[in-house]
Structure 1
Amino acid sequence: MAMVFRSSPLLWTRLVALIFSCVAFSVALYGAQLTHGTGDWCIFCWSFSFVGTLLVVLVELCGLQTRIPVSWKNFPITFACYASLLCLSASIIFPLYFLKGYSGRDEVMNCRIVSCVFSCLATVAYLSEVSLSKARPGEVSGYMATAPGLLKVCETFVACIIFVFINDPISYNQNAATKWCLAVYCICFILSAGIIVLCVAEWTGCLPFPFARFLSTYALLAVALYLSATIIWPLYKFDDKHGGTSHRQSSCGSMAGLCWWDKLLAIAVLTALNFILYLADLIYSARLVFVSA
């Protein structure tokens, strides 16, 4: 009970996130009539967040942290960060596909609005959990509770969104330059995801080299790779001289969600965003090396 009392702000934040995510997918399943495949993604975001948070709360209340085969310093905040990003993506995607231009029955619209509102509330709750769980200056904590660890989560999540957009429709087969961009996204995603797995599973000590120096070296490589993709992708997708399309078609305005040109633009923006994230990661990782030295 003492453990529960000490962690009460975090516990209550998790319970609130649990309720909000539960309401979001329950109402959507009850009466939102989500026929588009994107609705399945939103349901997954809310239900996955709910199930994971329920698991974390049960482990905390039962005091089973030492019996779980993962690092409990790293797993809860890693999951909370992913849950916040999942709910955020659902909060953006859901109104684009299911509220924009809908003129059906009022009860269906009401259910969709309720799901969207509680999705936004769940996002805020999970962001609050991350804020409460992250490492404070001078505090000893797991790597995933530090700024570089949280940046790794954001980097992998942004890459996943890029993969969705770049494959629907397939837009990387234009030439070798756009295939290079796909290679950049894949390489950086695999390495960042691998680092997260190593930290959550507490396998960093098994590496034959210092983990901190590996992080800074990888961050430098990722910055260089993403800088090239940030330049190449818009050059070959939006410059008419290189086979791109510089103007958005008028038909895009009447489509639900994002049309193919919008997805190309989204990939360009997300590539630039990941470049900034990796640049910040490099700065933090370099500081980590110097402080350790």
Structure 2
Amino acid sequence: MPVIVLEARDLISPLFLIRTWEILSGCTTFSLVASLEDSELNKNPSTLRFNTFRVFCMFTWCFFFTLSLLIHILSVIQFHSLIPISWKNLTMTVAVLGGLMCFTASVLFPWIIMDHQRVSPRPLVAAVTSCLTVLAYSSESYILRTQAHEHRGYMGSLPGLLKTIQLWGGFQMIPLVVEVVFGLQRGVHSWQVWVTGVSYGVCLLMSLVTLVVILGDLAGRCPLPFDRFLAGFTVIGVLLYMVATVICFTKILQLRELEQQVSNESAGLVIMETVVAGITLLAYTVDLAFSTKLLCDRSHV
């Protein structure tokens, strides 16, 4: 089969230019951060413990740079039709999830990693280019959302966007749980760590399974109707995140009692976990409402 390359007018289309912007800004960001020396990072011992977040930020920038580059190349040579993946759902998922993940990295990098007492040029430029990457992914998401429904797929609908937020929330909990396991939060009971960790892990696994089914167009092969399949996952997600959110508020109360013994960094981690858990719980709750409405509508048909 001959390879078809985009025409000249397609090379100046908004989508082509925005994806080029994503690749350039993403590559610039992780290249600058990778080139930073220890003297340009925060030397405060209390923040050196948060090396997990630096790895998380670097992984985010590199991973979505790689995905965007592959999508860009496949779009140029028009080779995506030969890949057994729902292309419209893939591009929408990468755009939305990439914007959310890079936004988190853009917040974490200046907050934890940069030396706020002596800001050197390269970390500052890296923070700016990371924000530009977020803007690029947001622009691509907007362009894909404005397309016709048949061109944007399920992940471009509101339930699909909610599932992307659920996936984002699960990914955010990975570095937070790792920091908790290494004992950065004094006054937190081990059972709380295990219950929240298992809850986040189960929900993340369900989100990944749902994403694989959608991207692989495997809904017809599910042993149950796909809408009931999604509704069941959503109910489990609501229950697990309700438990996790209650535990997060409990940890906040515990840290208030140990205010003199707990560092500001540990308190910040608890607050961050509570905020992300609350946002993810809201996404699951709204998604459950959509799933319930869909099931009720179909039962009356």
> Which TM-score band applies after superposition, normalised by the shorter structure?
0.7 to 0.9
Provide, for residues 76-119 of structure 1, a one-character-per-residue CA deviation record: whole Å limited to 9, x for no partner: 1112222212211221111123334342xx7xx10111110010
Structure 1 partner of 2:233: 218
Q: What's the Cα RMSD here?
A: 2.9
Taking a change above 3 Å as real, the CA distance of residues 286 and 45 of structure 1, as seen in their structure-2 partners, is same
How far is the alpha carbon of 1:6 from its aligned partner?
9.9
Q: Which runs of 5+ in 2 are unaligned?
A: 1-5, 42-47
Whether 1:281 and 2:277 are equivalent positions in the alignment is no
8 Å CA contact 2:166, 2:283 repeated in 1: yes
Mean alpha-carbon deviation: is it higher for 38-47 or for 186-195?
Answer: 38-47
**AA aligned opposite 2:284:** Y
Distance in structure 2 (CA, Å) of the matches to 1:67 and 1:138:
22
Which of 64, 76, 86 is residue 71 of structure 1 equivalent to?
86
Structure 1 partner of 2:18: 13
Q: 1:1-293 maps to which residues of 2 (within 5 A)?
A: 1=6, 5=10, 8-31=13-36, 33=38, 37=51, 38-103=53-118, 109-134=120-145, 139=150, 141-170=152-181, 174=189, 176=191, 179-235=194-250, 237-240=251-254, 245-246=256-257, 248-249=259-260, 252-253=263-264, 259-290=265-296, 293=301
How far is the alpha carbon of 1:260 from its aligned partner?
2.1
How far is the alpha carbon of 1:150 from its aligned partner?
2.2
**AA aligned opposite 1:211:** F
**AA aligned opposite 1:228:** V
8 Å CA contact 1:147, 1:284 repeated in 2: no
TM-score, normalised to structure 2, is 0.81
Q: Could you tell me the percent identity over the aligned residues?
A: 25
How far is the alpha carbon of 1:265 from its aligned partner?
2.3
TM-score, normalised to structure 1, is 0.83
Taking a change above 3 Å as real, the CA distance of residues 276 and 3 of structure 1, as seen in their structure-2 partners, is farther
Taking a change above 3 Å as real, the CA distance of residues 29 and 140 of structure 1, as seen in their structure-2 partners, is closer
Taking a change above 3 Å as real, the CA distance of residues 207 and 43 of structure 1, as seen in their structure-2 partners, is same
8 Å CA contact 1:230, 1:268 repeated in 2: yes
Taking a change above 3 Å as real, the CA distance of residues 27 and 183 of structure 1, as seen in their structure-2 partners, is closer
Provide, for residues 37-81 of structure 1, a one-character-per-residue CA deviation record: whole Å limited to 9, x for no partner: 343333322222222111101101101111113111211111222
Q: Which runs of 5+ in 1 are unaligned?
A: 254-258
